[in-house]
Amino acid sequence: MQYSEKVMDHFAHPRNVGEIENADGVGTVGNATCGDIMQMFLKIENDVIVDVKFKTFGCGAAIATSSMATELIKGHTVKEALELTNKAVVEALDGLPPIKIHCSVLAEEAVRAALADYYTKIGREIDFEVPEKDEEACHIIPEE
Amino acid sequence: MEEVTKERFVYADNAATTPVAPEVAEAMTPYFTAVWGNPSSMYSKGREARKALDSARERASKVLGCAPNELYFTSGGTEADNWALKGGARFMREKQGRTHVITSTIEHPAVLRSCEALEREGFRVSRVNVCKNGILDMDELRRTLDGDTAIVAVMYANNEIGTIQPIEEISKLAHEAGALMFTDAVQAVGSIPVDVNALGVDMLSLSGHKLGAPKGIGALYMRRGLKINKYIDGGGQERGMRSGTENLPYIAGLAEALELAASRMDDMERIRRMRDRLADYILKNIPHTIYNGDPSRRLPGNLNISFEYIEGESLLLLLDMAGICISTGSACSSNSLEPSHVLLALGLPAEKAHGSMRVSLSHGNTDEDVDYIIEKLPGIVSRLRSMSPIYPGDDK
Ligand SMILES: Cc1ncc(COP(=O)(O)O)c(C=O)c1O
């Protein structure tokens, strides 16, 4: 198994690590049994994500995908952030080993979970799919 | 985030593989350059190769306490495990109609997957649990043994947590039930003295690359008089049991490595002290750590510790950036989706198995290596914990 240089760069120098106090939206996905948990904090002004931070418990790919996801949504509108796909995260990282694809899915879900929290806080109806909490099975995407 | 810097290279994963010892490389060279004959040829070029082969077999068997004709060279530990287990089980079924195979929950995949293959052939396989410290549950073994048991396969020393099993006692119980006894001693040979007769086993496997010989060479000890099903059909080498022109350079290397390891057994005390110093430091100075395995019935170079709230692959990658090679039982570090079956068998919850680190020290390691690990490890663990959304804090 080999990580791309981009993945190693984001793993070694993760962007936007930390927490945001009084964040406008916070989302947490994954579970410890499966070995990865991602937490995403958003600061939103006029529907624009002005700041984003993350904390991740997980492997190299989990940290790199969280880091990349924050970069991809920072400065973008909420609507744009909702369009972020795991594929886009994988592409931006120059690919991931097949067994690590689920990390990119988790990153996409962390963004959505944080945005759902934001919608709830401002009383807006959630009109997008929100990741379900599944504590049972670990998130495995079959190899392509 | 602070840059991880590398000031030294420390190889602390000797349970994965060891470098070829210079003495071994040197002992092998003549068999590439000068003594290249086929040991089966009758002319002098072949006879000199035969002589070298016989001598290597004799030297290797002396280290293990067996007769030369009880030792069969193989392509490594995996082949020896497959042969012993499948050959032994099938032999006992043919001769005595026995169809029960007993093993432990913490075996190497070479044994576990071989057991699954035997299940597909109609064998019944029992996997005896280990206690919290990683030592086989002997009461469960006693309850599991029966008159249908063909073979018992329990590893001598575990590759992840280094625990040493009471093989003599297990052999006795297996034999009382009329079963064959096989032990995978791949991790033990070279690290602790191994005498096949004292252990009382019928078969024992070993692998060269764990003790300073190259990868791709190993051996199976098979007690005299026991002729389990042969492994490879062909020209009749290895007394008709394992055909194929003998890999003389590697066999000579294995013999040299076995003798070298035996002559260096005293150094294991130094290795044990380094291991214990590292363990003490970590347990005293890094909060939320768990010591995995038994503290005394353990290979001298092996240390296995779980750092809670972090994941092992990240730890491995950061330590690698610092120049330190270790391994982890995390699911993410392998091509499997499960954390280490060995750590889970100890009763460790999955999230704690994900954060495990195995250090395995050997002759090449020095006190400076341990100092360097002590210098780098705490900062790397805190760095990962500072990013972890579940870390409760050092004093929680
Ligand atoms: C306990 C144990 N058994 C078997 C093997 C397999 O040996 P080899 O790599 O020589 O096939 C190993 C090492 O990988 C091991 O640690």
Q: What is the pLDDT of residues B204-221, one digit of tens each?
A: 999 999 999 999 999 999
Spatial distance between the Cα atoms of B365 and B274, rounded to a whole number of angstroms:
9
Q: Which two tokens stand for residue B239?
A: 């007394």
Confidence at residue A136, expressed as pLDDT on a 0 to 100 scale: 52
Instruction: Supply the range of the domain harboring residue B138.
Output: 22-263
Share above pLDDT 90 across residues of chain B, in percent, rounded to a whole number:
95
Confidence at residue B36, expressed as pLDDT on a 0 to 100 scale: 98
Decide: B187 in ligand 1 pocket, CB within 6 A: yes
* Same domain membership, residue B316 and residue B256: no
Mean pLDDT of B31-46: 98
Tell me which of B263, B295, B324 is where a domain ends: B263
* Same domain membership, residue B97 and residue B210: yes
- What is the tally of structural domains in chain B? 2
Task: Tell me which chain A residue has its CA closest to the CA of residue B5.
Answer: A12
Tell me which of B240, B263, B286 is where a domain ends: B263
CATH for B288: 3.90.1150.10
* Same domain membership, residue B347 and residue B199: no
The answer to whether residues B356 and B314 touch, using CB atoms and an 8 Å cutoff, is no
* Residues of chain A with C-beta less than 8 angstroms from the C-beta of B335: 1, 99
Decide: B186 in ligand 1 pocket, CB within 6 A: yes
Task: Tell me which chain A residue has its CA closest to the CA of residue B317.
Answer: A60
Please report whether residue B129 resides in a domain. yes
Q: Which two tokens stand for residue B266?
A: 């005293």
pTM of the model: 0.95
What confidence category does residue B334 fall into, taking pLDDT thresholds of 50, 70 and 90? low
Rounded to the nearest angstrom, the distance between the alpha carbon of B18 and the centre of ligand 1 is: 12
* Same domain membership, residue B166 and residue B109: yes
Confidence at residue B395, expressed as pLDDT on a 0 to 100 scale: 85
* Same domain membership, residue B299 and residue B355: yes
* Same domain membership, residue B275 and residue B254: no
* Same domain membership, residue B82 and residue B211: yes
Tell me which of B221, B245, B263 is where a domain ends: B263
The residue of A59, A65, A70, A106 whose CB has the most chain B CBs within 10 angstroms, and thus the best one to mutate to test that interface, is A59
Summarised one tens digit per residue, pLDDT across range B112-167 is 999 999 999 999 999 999 999 999 999 999 999 999 999 999 999 999 999 999 99
Rounded to the nearest angstrom, the distance between the alpha carbon of B106 and the centre of ligand 1 is: 13
Mean pLDDT of B285-296: 98
* Same domain membership, residue B78 and residue B144: yes
* Same domain membership, residue B293 and residue B250: no
Confidence at residue A34, expressed as pLDDT on a 0 to 100 scale: 87
> Of all atoms in ligand 1, which is nearest to the CA of residue B207?
10
Please report whether residue B393 resides in a domain. no
Please report whether residue B396 resides in a domain. no
Task: Tell me which chain B residue has its CA closest to the CA of residue A26.
Answer: B389
State the fold for domain A5-121: Sufe protein. Chain: A (3.90.1010)
Q: Is the pLDDT of residue B294 over 70?
A: yes
* Same domain membership, residue B144 and residue B46: yes
Confidence at residue B101, expressed as pLDDT on a 0 to 100 scale: 98
Contact B390 A1 (CB under 8 A): no
Enzyme catalytic residues of A: 34, 103
* Same domain membership, residue B157 and residue B115: yes
Please report whether residue B3 resides in a domain. no
* Same domain membership, residue B34 and residue B107: yes
Confidence at residue A118, expressed as pLDDT on a 0 to 100 scale: 98
The three-state DSSP-derived secondary structure of chain B is CCCCCCCCCEECECCCCCCCCHHHHHHHCHHHHCCCCCCCCCCHHHHHHHHHHHHHHHHHHHHHCCCHHHEEEECCHHHHHHHHHHHHHHHHHHHHCCCEEEEECCCCHHHHHHHHHHHHCCCEEEEECECCCCCECHHHHHHHCCCCEEEEECCCECCCCCEECCHHHHHHHHHHCCCEEEEECCCCECCECCCHHHHCCCEEEEEHHHCCCCCCCEEEEECCCCCCCCCECCCCCCCCCECCCCCHHHHHHHHHHHHHHHHCCCHHHHHHHHHHHHHHHHHHHCCCEEECCCCCCECCCEEEEEECCCCHHHHHHHHHHCCEECECCCHHHCCCCCCCHHHHHCCCCHHHHHCEEEEECCCCCCHHHHHHHHHHHHHHHHHHHHCCCCCCCCCC
Q: Please choose from B17, B105, B108 the residue to mutate so as to test ligand 1's pocket, defined by most ligand atoms within 8 A of CB.
A: B108
Order of strands across the sheet that contains B124-128? B71-74, B218-222, B203-207, B180-184, B149-153, B100-104, B124-128
Tell me how far apart the terminal alpha carbons of chain A are, to the nearest angstrom. Answer: 16
Q: Within 13 Å of residue B250, how many CA atoms lie on the same side as its CB?
A: 16
Confidence at residue B331, expressed as pLDDT on a 0 to 100 scale: 75
Which residues make beta-bridge pairs with B153?
B103, B182
Confidence at residue B358, expressed as pLDDT on a 0 to 100 scale: 98
CATH for B119: 3.40.640.10
Confidence at residue B330, expressed as pLDDT on a 0 to 100 scale: 86
**What residues of chain A score a pLDDT lower than 50?**
141-144
ipTM of the complex: 0.94
Q: Is the pLDDT of residue B45 over 90?
A: yes
* Residues of chain B with C-beta less than 8 angstroms from the C-beta of A55: 387-389
